[in-house]
């Protein structure tokens, strides 16, 4: 639509209009936000272009103005279309959309809606034969034949009888499918109706009996299914729809160089509807089609997690894991001498990313020599390392934060010598002499008692003096 700045006028009482934009509404030209406007008529020579755009048969254009807009219509070039909208039982239908189209202006539509008594009235329609159509969400659509000017003043449109179509959407096992979209396709060009199933898979919709043709159902993870409604013999139609599961969604897990990664955990649709899988030796994985529309991510104990992706369709997915981190350091004794042979274990690990249940390397142990160690391919998170060596006291590191692809250098661990004397006193068996000395005190009283008893008894070698 052209942008207008001013319309030159001729003679006293002529209209002068300044506007920013122009639009057409119901056969009128509306100039929004005018700078100035006065009621009157403009000369045909000044507004010939507007007269052509409005389809005006007369050389003048009627102007109506308020503080917000200037509305122009072709004077004497219009007709009125009026009538009523009824249902199949003759009751008025309120709120139905009414469209009027004139042969004189086939590319224009004059629109309104029916009142509470079903009546409608459209003014300013371009002169000529007209066609009237009405649409209602429940009752469908109806339209008239081409009408003369006189017939167009008393139009009565009657909708077809309405019927209810209801049913349940089920999967292959017979379980209800919630939140499935059910589309009722009409036989004509009338708009289709779409409803969503409830938690029990049930749906219900109303439509004109003559317009209901077929039902098409979509649900996440299932193939679209279409069934024919068939003959409409009653006011209530029962149609259950059974869906077939869609083929699985495939994808691949690769590292930063593009090589396949096996054993990665793939997670989609966080929450109660979560779906998980693991990549095989070729890095491939499969998930049910129900994950379409969800976010998906992948994790591996030796890599940084893959950036989450949104699953928009069935195209194969490629999830790329990030580089893991590294911890480097040294292990020495209390004098600074490198430990010849020692082991390093991952004592604890708190993941920086990923859902619960993702495998980790906690508890993994490796051997190292000549006082230096290096742990590669660490998933992002906080690590505590445990160090041990023969003859040395086991030592844990402080928490070490490892980021994506980050190398932590300079970790210094001191392994002190074990207390040999304490260890020997606590662990060695007592010597025989020690045992004797140790047991002498407890056994000394017993021996003396025994010897005293033996002294009291007469010796078999000594003679016993006898008195006669």
pLDDT reading at 21 higher than 50: no
Q: Provide the pLDDT for residue 79.
A: 81
Model pLDDT for residues 383-410, shown as the tens digit of each residue:
999 999 999 999 999 999 999 999 999 9
Higher-pLDDT residue of 332 and 48 is: 332
Model pLDDT for residues 304-319, shown as the tens digit of each residue:
999 999 998 888 899 9
Give the rounded percent of residues in the chain with a pLDDT score beyond 70.
70
CATH 2.60.40.1120 residue window(s) in the chain: 78-158, 162-242, 249-320, 325-414
Asked whether the CA dihedral 181, 182, 185, 189 is positive or negative, the reply is negative
Q: Look at the domain 325-414 and name its fold.
A: Immunoglobulin-like (2.60.40)
Q: What global pTM score does this model have?
A: 0.51
Q: Provide the pLDDT for residue 34.
A: 41
Q: Provide the pLDDT for residue 464.
A: 41
* Inter-residue contact 294 to 288 (CB < 8 Å): no
Q: Look at the domain 162-242 and name its fold.
A: Immunoglobulin-like (2.60.40)
Architecture of domain 78-158: Sandwich (2.60)
Model pLDDT for residues 73-117, shown as the tens digit of each residue:
444 457 889 999 998 888 899 999 999 998 888 888 888 999 999
Q: If pLDDT is split at 50, 70 and 90, which confidence band does 23 have?
A: very low
For residues 130 and 143, give the distance between their C-alpha atoms in angstroms, rounded to a whole number: 11
25's CB contacts (< 8 A; 6+ apart) are: none
Q: What is the average per-residue pLDDT within 251-280?
A: 91
Query: 146-155: which pairs have CB atoms within 8 A and are 24 or more residues apart?
Result: 146/103, 149/79, 152/79, 152/80, 152/81, 152/82, 152/83, 152/100, 152/125, 153/80, 153/81, 153/82, 153/83, 154/82, 154/83, 155/81, 155/82, 155/83, 155/84
* Inter-residue contact 57 to 90 (CB < 8 Å): no
Q: How far is CA 95 from CA 112, 137, 152, 245, in A?
A: 9, 10, 20, 41
Q: What is the average per-residue pLDDT within 198-206?
A: 91
pLDDT reading at 52 higher than 70: no
Higher-pLDDT residue of 99 and 457 is: 99
Name the CATH code of domain 249-320 (choices 3.40.50.300, 1.10.287.1080, 2.60.40.1120, 3.40.50.620).
2.60.40.1120
């Amino acid at each position: 639509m052209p942008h207008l700045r001013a319309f030159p006028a001729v003679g006293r009482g002529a209209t002068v209009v300044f506007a920013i934009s122009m639009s057409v509404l119901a056969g009128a030209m509306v100039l929004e936000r005018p700078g100035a406007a006065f009621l009157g008529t403009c000369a045909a020579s000044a507004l010939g272009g507007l007269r052509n755009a409005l389809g005006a048969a007369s050389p003048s254009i009627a102007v109506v103005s308020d503080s917000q807009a200037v509305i122009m219509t072709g004077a004497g070039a219009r007709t009125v279309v009026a009538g009523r909208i009824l249902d199949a039982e003759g009751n008025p239908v309120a709120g139905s959309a009414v469209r009027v189209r004139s042969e004189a202006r086939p590319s224009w539509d004059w629109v309104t809606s029916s009142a509470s008594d079903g009546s409608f009235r459209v003014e300013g329609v371009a002169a000529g034969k007209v066609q009237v159509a009405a649409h209602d969400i429940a009752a469908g659509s109806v339209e008239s034949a081409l009408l003369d000017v006189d017939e167009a003043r008393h139009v009565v449109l009657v909708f077809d009888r309405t019927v209810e179509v209801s049913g349940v959407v089920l999967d292959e096992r017979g379980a209800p499918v919630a939140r499935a979209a059910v589309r009722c396709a009409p036989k004509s060009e009338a708009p289709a109706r779409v409803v969503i199933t409830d938690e029990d898979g049930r749906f219900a919709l109303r439509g004109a009996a003559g317009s209901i043709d077929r039902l098409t159902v979509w649900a996440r993870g299932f193939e679209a299914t279409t069934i024919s409604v068939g003959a409409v013999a009653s006011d209530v139609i029962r149609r259950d729809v059974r869906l077939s599961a869609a083929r699985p969604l495939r994808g691949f897990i690769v590292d930063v160089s593009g090589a396949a990664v096996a054993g990665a955990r793939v997670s989609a649709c966080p929450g109660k509807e979560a779906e998980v899988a693991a990549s095989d030796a070729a890095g491939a994985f499969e998930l049910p089609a129900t994950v379409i529309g969800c976010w998906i991510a992948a994790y591996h104990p030796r890599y940084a997690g893959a950036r989450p992706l949104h699953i928009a369709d069935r195209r194969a997915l490629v999830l790329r894991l990030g580089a893991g981190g590294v911890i480097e350091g040294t292990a020495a004794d209390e004098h600074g001498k490198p430990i010849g042979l020692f082991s390093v274990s991952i004592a604890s690990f708190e993941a920086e990313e990923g859902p619960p249940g993702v495998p980790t390397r906690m508890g993994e142990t490796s051997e190292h020599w000549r006082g230096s160690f290096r742990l590669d391919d660490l998933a992002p998170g906080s690590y505590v390392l445990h160090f041990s060596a023969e003859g040395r006291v086991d030592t844990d590191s402080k928490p070490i934060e490892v980021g994506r692809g980050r190398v932590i250098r300079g970790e210094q661990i001191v392994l002190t010598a074990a207390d040999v004397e304490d260890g020997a006193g606590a662990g060695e068996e007592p010597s025989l002499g020690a045992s004797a000395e140790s047991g002498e005190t407890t056994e000394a009283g017993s021996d003396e008692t025994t010897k005293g008893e033996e002294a009291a008894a007469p010796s078999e070698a000594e003679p016993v003096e006898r008195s006669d």
